[in-house]
Chain A
Amino acid sequence: MYKIVNKRQLNATVTMLEIEAPLVARKAQPGQFIIFRIDEFGERVPLTIAAHDKEKGTVTIIFNNVGKSTKMLGQMEVGDALADFVGPLGVPTEMEGLKKVLIVGGGTGNALAYPIANGMHKAGIEVDMIAGYRTKEIVILEDELKNSCTNLYLMTDDGTYGEKGFTTVKLKELLDTGKDYDAVVAVGPPMMMKFVCEATKPYNIKTIASLTAIMIDGTGMCGGCRITVGGERKFVCVDGPEFDGHLVDWDELIKRGTFYRDQEQEANKHVCRITGGVRQHG
């Protein structure tokens, strides 16, 4: 079992949990992910590793309480334990040769962008970051992000906090002012990443997208996470999760991500708000 040792609510729906998982903590690197399962009856759900502590043997995950499993997870408390927690999975973020990088995060994606920003920052790479949110209420990790980059451009769609506008607006502005980034990293909803990639294309800047996909095992076995990159079939779990965003078939990826949406909505109705993560059987 994998015990929850720390819990922090980052906004109304985004939760941060620190979990005892020494085998994962030992090897975790920025860009990698884990798969958790709450209990015997749970799904296997992939989540990006937000932070890890080798000494304590803990791994931190940040997630939006949107699906049945994440809602149940969000209702678990310090001292509760998950049945399964496996990782680190996926290829770590490629940092070699990078000197100056712009990271673009959207919504909860900022939680996933954080370990990449932090990892690059620690590796001596100059990091600028655009963190976009829908509105002020859902802004997360502002201090952490600030401490992981040189310039943080905080944006809200409605202008209630930071600058008003989408991340792509700021992105074009920075690129137009002649900031010469070696690479742009996009982390967020697929639609946002698609637009980031479209925006950087004319500038011919290498753009890395950190993808999420439907998967079961996370080791290349199910093939559920397959996508098309540069005309070739790739598995997000073992070939990724980071890919050259200019080569990703975004429309296909976005469609594939919706396959279980109806089931998800149905399952969502059945999360018990009283027992939370603890399932009651019999």
Chain B
Amino acid sequence: MVNLTTKKNPIPEQKPLVRNKNFKEVAFGYSEKTAINEAMRCLQCRTRPCTKGCPVNVRIPDFIAKVAEGDFEAAYQIISETSSLPAVCGRVCPQENQCEGNCVRGIKGESVGIGRLERFVADWHARHSKPEDAPKPAPSNGRKVAIIGSGPAGLACAGDLVKQGFDVTIFEALHKAGGVLVYGIPEFRLPKDIVQREVDKLLAMGVKLVTNAVIGRSISIDELMDEEGFEAVFIASGAGLPQFLNIPGENYLGVYSANEYLTRINLMKAYRDDYDTPFRVAKRVAVVGGGNVAMDAARCAKRMGAEEVYIIYRRSMDELPARKEEVHHAQEEEVIFRLQNNPVQIIGDENGYVQGIECVQMEMGEPDATGRRRPVAKPDSNFVIDCDAVIIAIGTSPNSLIRTTTKGLQANKKGCIDADEKLQTSREGVFAGGDAVTGAATVIKAMGAGKKAAQSIAEYLYAKDNKSNGGTDK
């Protein structure tokens, strides 16, 4: 029996003007009844276009069928076969461009709420699983693989390799595992105990985690391979280097990279009184950029007590790269969008503190050679937005530490590590994926890369065995 309602079941949320003052999760999630009702909207169509949109190939119609039957644990097992972080993906994936974007129900109405269902299933499992259900370590094949970085790419790769018996060690530069899931994405979008739960699951399966290890400084990839016995390395170090605008005034006090601002709040928990993290509360905050990170920073600024928060972006609403849902949430929380404006300088007082940001208005220019219209500045349209903090959220690029400390590792002009379709780098036994290769992208793409790397690493190591056997029969 198919539920033919054209609209998704709404997900209950905290009220906007309540939630913009706390760090608790915005959405509460489906009840069992709502989940079953939503699952019944799935047509179980034969073409399964949703699965083609999933970078980690979750068997979407199959898990939804189990939800519709009320067998939530079976649904969880189906998702777990291919995804190591279902509770995370259900929350932060841009489903509208992936699975849900392909859903047949989306042609005449709204797609099935696949993300909401995935989240429901993962949360249901977490609530109902018993300690004895914890995953057990697979029998070890004794072969050591090092993973650099414990973000989504690293965690996904570790999960797939440890299931096959590899002896996996993750090296993390910070004091906590999770990468962007813990330092970047705020608690109100992705509660940190959910990330911790996923990390703990991997540790229970036998993955080793070394925090406070900066690869390239504490130990190099060459040392890992030559001295520590790692046969393969997966570089999943992300894109952590913040970009700045390169306009005057960016070093005034009160100008932050989004990385710094978010790390203080999310990783270092500046919003909690019991943490020592220093933080200056600003009254008027200008966030430069239009992506998800800009939305996160703006919504954090509200919650940290700012009276007015602005998003400054040089194009219009239609071109905002952030997810529609995030933009909508930010608007509901009274973040003010000052679009088609481009910053030209940051203004400071005599002590070097930020006072305002000068912008110029933008309009769409004539189409260029590629046919794309680019924003151009309107003459004499400069104006100043008063503010006491500016957050630069215009993107990140990969950190140079690993590529400059690893012999023979090639990277492109943007600093992204070169890797082929199997994620093999220019160094034998060294693989790379996620933002370290593509530049800043999404959690789920990084996870997809992590899975692919796991497969390539396994193939590489088995092939190496065959070679060293010299083709003789054994």
A217 touches B213 (CB 8 A): no
Rounded to whole Å, the gap between the CB of A224 and the closest CB of chain B is 5
**Which B222-264 residues have C-beta < 8 A from chain A?**
240-242, 244, 246, 250-251, 253-254, 256-257, 259-260, 263-264
A56 interfacial contact with B, CB 8 Å: no
Residue of chain A at shortest CB distance from B244: A233
Contacts of A44 in B (CB 8 A): 175, 268
B212's partner among A85, A224, A264 (CB-CB below 8 A) is: A85
B259 touches A256 (CB 8 A): no
With contact pairs A220-B241, A221-B399 given, residues A256 and B276 touching in the complex (Cβ less than 8 Å): no
Contacts of B267 in A (CB 8 A): 216
A219 interfacial contact with B, CB 8 Å: yes
With contact pairs A86-B173, A86-B214 given, residues A217 and B263 touching in the complex (Cβ less than 8 Å): yes
B278 touches A87 (CB 8 A): no
**Most chain A beta-carbon neighbours within 10 Å: one of B214, B253, B256, B274:** B214
Q: In the assembly, what is the distance between CA of A252 and CA of B217, in Å?
A: 28
B276's partner among A26, A43, A219, A258 (CB-CB below 8 A) is: A43
With contact pairs A24-B218, A86-B218, A255-B253 given, residues A219 and B274 touching in the complex (Cβ less than 8 Å): no
Mask, A197-231, CB within 8 Å of B = 1, is 00000000000000000001111111110111000
Q: In the assembly, what is the distance between CA of A15 and CA of B180, in Å?
A: 36
B240's partner among A221, A224, A258 (CB-CB below 8 A) is: A221
B242 touches A223 (CB 8 A): yes
26 sampled A-B residue pairs with Cβ under 8 A: A23-B219, A43-B276, A84-B211, A86-B212, A87-B218, A88-B217, A89-B214, A217-B174, A220-B240, A220-B400, A221-B241, A221-B242, A221-B259, A221-B263, A223-B244, A223-B256, A223-B257, A226-B244, A227-B251, A233-B251, A238-B399, A252-B352, A255-B253, A262-B280, A263-B278, A267-B276
Q: In the assembly, what is the distance between CA of A264 and CA of B241, in Å?
A: 27
With contact pairs A223-B257, A223-B259 given, residues A84 and B212 touching in the complex (Cβ less than 8 Å): yes
Q: In the assembly, what is the distance between CA of A281 and CA of B218, in Å?
A: 33
Rounded to whole Å, the gap between the CB of A1 and the closest CB of chain B is 11
With contact pairs A41-B275, A87-B217, A222-B259 given, residues A255 and B212 touching in the complex (Cβ less than 8 Å): no
A224 touches B276 (CB 8 A): no
B276 touches A226 (CB 8 A): no
* Tier of interface size on chain A: 35 or more
Q: In the assembly, what is the distance between CA of A256 and CA of B260, in Å?
A: 14
Mask, B168-205, CB within 8 Å of A = 1, is 00000111000000010000000000000000000000
**Which B132-157 residues have C-beta < 8 A from chain A?**
none
B264 touches A216 (CB 8 A): yes
Residue of chain B at shortest CB distance from A279: B274
Q: In the assembly, what is the distance between CA of A85 and CA of B173, in Å?
A: 11
B268 touches A219 (CB 8 A): no
Q: In the assembly, what is the distance between CA of A234 and CA of B226, in Å?
A: 33
Rounded to whole Å, the gap between the CB of A159 and the closest CB of chain B is 34
Q: In the assembly, what is the distance between CA of A159 and CA of B241, in Å?
A: 47
A220 touches B175 (CB 8 A): no
Contacts of B126 in A (CB 8 A): none
A69 interfacial contact with B, CB 8 Å: yes
Q: Which 10 pairs of residues, A with B, have the shortest CB-CB distance?
A: A86-B212, A222-B260, A223-B257, A255-B352, A260-B278, A221-B240, A84-B175, A263-B278, A223-B242, A224-B260
Rounded to whole Å, the gap between the CB of B119 and the closest CB of chain A is 28
A3 interfacial contact with B, CB 8 Å: no
Residue of chain B at shortest CB distance from A259: B253
Contacts of B279 in A (CB 8 A): 263
Q: In the assembly, what is the distance between CA of A44 and CA of B275, in Å?
A: 11
**Other A-B pairs beyond A223-B244, A226-B244, A262-B280, 15, CB < 8 Å:** A23-B212, A24-B218, A26-B219, A44-B175, A87-B214, A218-B214, A219-B240, A219-B399, A221-B263, A222-B259, A223-B260, A224-B256, A259-B253, A260-B280, A263-B278
Q: In the assembly, what is the distance between CA of A43 and CA of B275, in Å?
A: 8
A42 interfacial contact with B, CB 8 Å: yes
A27 interfacial contact with B, CB 8 Å: yes
A83 interfacial contact with B, CB 8 Å: yes
B174 touches A256 (CB 8 A): no
Contacts of B174 in A (CB 8 A): 217
A68 interfacial contact with B, CB 8 Å: yes
Rounded to whole Å, the gap between the CB of B434 and the closest CB of chain A is 15
A238 touches B173 (CB 8 A): no
With contact pairs A24-B218, A224-B260, A233-B244 given, residues A252 and B280 touching in the complex (Cβ less than 8 Å): no
